[in-house]
Chain A
Amino acid sequence: MSKQSGSAGGKISASDTKGRGEYTPVTYDPQYILMVNELKKYFPIKGGMMSRTVGQVKAVDGVTFNLKRGTTMGLVGESGCGKTTTGRTILRLSGEKTGGQVLFNGKEVYELSNKEMRSMRTKMQIIFQDPFSSLSPRLPVGEIIGEAVREHNLVPKAEFNDYIDKVMDNCGLQPFHKERYPHEFSGGQRQRICIARALALNPEFVVCDEPVSALDVSIQAQIINLLKELQEQYKLTYLFISHDLSVVEHISDTVGVMYLGNLVEYGKTEDIFRNPLHPYTKALFSAIPVPDPNAKMNRIVLEGSIPSPANPPTGCKFHTRCANCTQRCKEEAPMQREVEPGHYVVCHLYDK
């Protein structure tokens, strides 16, 4: 679904082949609630006495995808590859972007005025990966969840309490939790508070950054079922970041696999899980733990040094660890190929 009218170039990665910051602008296609085009986010590395910028961490280095209204895109990839940064940059939560476009309902998010941005904030929500640092320790939980609802006058005053109770109940929290403070909760309970806070605002688009990994599987199932129900009811759109591939398979319509700041494979969930193409995706799938104490695993162990996003390898960024690496991989960055309809991969192995 990513490459259709408008997104010219047919590239989701391989930014190295182009000059930095250059991209072909996309035009708005109304079937997509979110269009991300060649998005880049670099962080400066400060060093020395004067705190001069001595380099850059290329956390997100040219990511392109489009998201249809009411669908879920799963985002998986190595820890530190830029998933959270992608989510935060889309929501304009980490300062200015370095390059590329983010069109939400056709509007460039980075060109909104402060006032427009404020109303946009209720429509685009994020469930943070680290619930501990994202909850104010000084507010009781009912207040944390209700604060923004009140601020934006989303429900009439008379219904406010019932509304908060309902949201909390939906997320597996109980009324007696309302008066307690975040530190009095277990890790999983705190995560549910974050979920309730985001969902209370009736958003259109939610970045779910590891929303269920701190929860036991039964509550995980409950939350996933809830997210899906809400999606059907309100046509919600999710960007779902997770390391748990079984959860990703269950909830996503499409899946993107990231490696070191780029999408390396993208396609419909069935295609990716049935027929993983990129050597990194294959290694990832081979490492899924199995709930059977005597299971024999055939893990593909990734050898070689893990490259740093401050100084990514030349050519294919995965070449330092890839078992199929050739001389060409070291020199030339691979282009994106459409191997089967709607299934894209960035790897020389699939060159015709």
Chain B
Amino acid sequence: MAKKKAEGYLSGRESRRISRANRKVTNELEKKRKRKKVPESEYLTKMHDPDNAVEFDNLHTYFFTDAGTVKSVDGVSFEVPIGKTVGVVGESGCGKSVTSLSLMQLLQRPQGQVVEGEIRLNLGDKAVDVAKMPYEAVQHLRGNFVSMIFQEPMTSLNPVFRIGDQINEVIELHDGEGKSKEDVKKRTIELLEMVGIANSEGVYRMFPHELSGGMRQRVCIAMALACNPKVIIADEPTTALDVTIQAQVLDLLRSLKDKINSSIMFITHDLGVIAEMADYVVVMYAGRIVEKGTAEDIFYHPAHPYTIGLMASKPVVGRQVDKLYSIPGKVPNPVNMPDYCYFKDRCEMCVEKCGGEYPCEVSLSPTHKVSCYRYYDGQMPEDVNPAAAGEKAENGDPAEGQKPGDLSTAADKDQEGGDVS
């Protein structure tokens, strides 16, 4: 793999050496995964808490590239309780999608590999560790039990098949027993209507390129919900949708959640959507979790400087600023991570101890955890008064709907917080 090299980059020889070493590692891992008829006992496990649907435990997912090992997910642990929604936010490229793809075993092969940790999945009568499962076994889980709405709809739609046929196929594959062709079609049309697609008969016969971005996304949502999955991974499912249809899709996900008690792992950059949907929030930065807690914890008492910066960056309707706040600096190179806090080079709230090794997790409350030196001596984050924020949302004239001016919330206060330090 001797490519034209950029200044100060790897030499062709070095790159070839890395490439050889990579192949050795990935071949071995692949061989293990590709085995057939693996006894179930090899990957059966026990949930640490039976009320959880999924438990990520110290997950490490690496990409073995020619430029070195990209540690996309580097020790991530969190739970998705049954019937609850966990929102995942974080810097673009911090490993949110890779975390969810690890659960589905849909990482790009062979370079993408789960190298350490467990992903325990509660199947009701038993629990499995997806990280140890061979491909063959995982296939049965996808669609039936766990299903995923992808960030980029074209990755899950086949450009040469009609929309209707693609959804029919999913239904037939997982749920088709005893269904006639007409029944399947009826169900497909019903699903398309459920996600708010007008002209469902017409769209049934269209090809993906004939749909708008948001319509493609809704087709993917329909496909993912076709078989009433117990765990739904939604990777930015509503980014391509306007706010009215977004509200409709969020309602749909919520009602499905209530109806069959599904759990949702919801990845999005829209803090407003997270606030609305999530029971728990996980904040990731550079492959690790820097803060997690209930939605109230994160929105009213954001503790990690990254979370605080994130909240301050969001433009708010009705609040005029010349320049938006944005966290200065860049994420470190994932091939070559520093040995101190990954956020230190961008952090505006550093304390003396920050030069030390990567900070470990501190509990601020039974639900609220943060990895940051500022809280080592028990200092608590400042409250963002929830009462005040609630008041503001209420005093709009309901007849006129939400007035833009009333939308200022938690983020206002965080802006100040960010500026002070």
Contact = CB atoms under 8 A, between A and B. Distances in A.
A253 interface: no
A53 interface: no
Residue of B196, B278, B401 most packed against chain A (CB within 10 A): B401
Counting from the closest, the 5 A-B pairs by CB-CB distance are A79-B214, A188-B92, A289-B272, A308-B199, A286-B401
25 contacts: A45-B202, A78-B245, A79-B213, A80-B214, A175-B8, A176-B6, A180-B65, A183-B108, A216-B269, A221-B313, A224-B315, A225-B323, A243-B241, A285-B404, A288-B243, A289-B247, A289-B273, A289-B275, A295-B389, A296-B393, A298-B401, A299-B401, A305-B198, A306-B197, A311-B199
Interface of A: 43, 45, 47, 57, 76-80, 82, 84-85, 129-133, 140, 142, 161, 172, 174-176, 178-180, 183-189, 192, 210, 213-222, 224-225, 228, 243-247, 249-250, 273-274, 282-302, 305-311
Given A76-B242, A290-B276, 13 more contacts: A45-B202, A79-B218, A175-B7, A180-B65, A184-B65, A213-B239, A273-B404, A288-B402, A289-B270, A293-B278, A293-B295, A302-B244, A306-B197
A242 B210 CA distance: 20
B361 interface: no
A250 B319 CA distance: 9
Contacts of B309: 218
Interface residues of B, number: 94
Interface stretch (B39-47, B117-125, B372-380, B407-415): B407-415
Contact of B243 (A45, A216, A289, A310): A289
B93 A133 contact: no
A293 B318 contact: no
Contacts of A188: 92-93, 269
Contact of A80 (B154, B215, B272, B409): B215
Residue of A80, A184, A247 most packed against chain B (CB within 10 A): A80
B63 A184 contact: yes
Given A214-B151, A216-B92, A273-B404, A291 B271 contact: yes
B213 A129 contact: yes
B333 A130 contact: no
B246 interface: yes
Interface in B234-287: 236, 239-247, 269-276, 278
A218 B305 CA distance: 13
Interface string B79-95: 00000000001111110
A280 to B, nearest CB: 9
A322 to B, nearest CB: 13
Contact of B97 (A172, A187, A288): A187
A291 B63 contact: no
B29 interface: no
Contact of B389 (A246, A283, A292): A292
A291 B272 contact: yes
A188 B152 CA distance: 11
Given A132-B155, A172-B330, A217-B269, A290 B407 contact: yes
Contact of B269 (A140, A210, A220): A220
B246 A243 contact: yes
Contacts of A273: 317-318, 404
Interface string B298-330: 011000000001110111111001011111001
Given A79-B242, A186-B92, A299-B247, A217 B314 contact: yes
Contacts of A221: 313-315, 324-326
Interface in B202-252: 202, 205, 210-215, 217-218, 236, 239-247
